[in-house]
Amino acid sequence: GQQLNQSPQSMFIQEGEDVSMNCTSSSIFNTWLWYKQDPGEGPVLLIALYKAGELTSNGRLTAQFGITRKDSFLNISASIPSDVGIYFCAGRISSDMRFGAGTRLTVKP
């Protein structure tokens, strides 16, 4: 099935650095979401965006819903070791939620 284009595929950063990842699609979505998945767990919602142009923060995380409704980005500031994991973007229209392939984040202390 069609998935979103998420980049980068992986990132290796030093603790304290900022991180940015993004997601693009050829389709328009009503909702953009960002999830984090740890090994052996299901994805956990980090941020949900409901309006084009919306910029939302959740602690050290900031995400934006692109004005064209076809893209979104997630920034993590001042990374810490527990930020390690796989981050997924997801676009949703009605019940159908499409996911990106994920960004694997490694944080070196």
Partner 1 sequence: DAGVTQSPTHLIKTRGQQVTLRCSPKSGHDTVSWYQQALGQGPQFIFQYYEEEERQRGNFPDRFSGHQFPNYSSELNVNALLLGDSALYLCASSLGISSYNEQFFGPGTRLTVL
Residue pair 17/60 in contact by the 8 Å Cβ criterion: no
Residue 44 binds to partner 1 (criterion: CB under 8 A): yes
Q: Is residue 45 involved in binding partner 1 (CB under 8 A)?
A: yes
Binding mask of the shown chain, residues 2 to 41, with x at each position contacting partner 1 by CB under 8 A: -xx-x-----------------------xx--------xx
Residue 34 structure tokens: 């960002």
Task: Characterise 9 by phi-psi region: left (phi > 0), alpha (psi -120 to 50), beta (else).
Answer: alpha
Shortest approach of partner 1 to residue 31 CB, angstroms? 5
Q: Which of residues 60-99 bind partner 1 (CB under 8 A)?
A: 88, 90, 92-99
Decide if 29 contacts 91 (C-beta within 8 A). Answer: yes
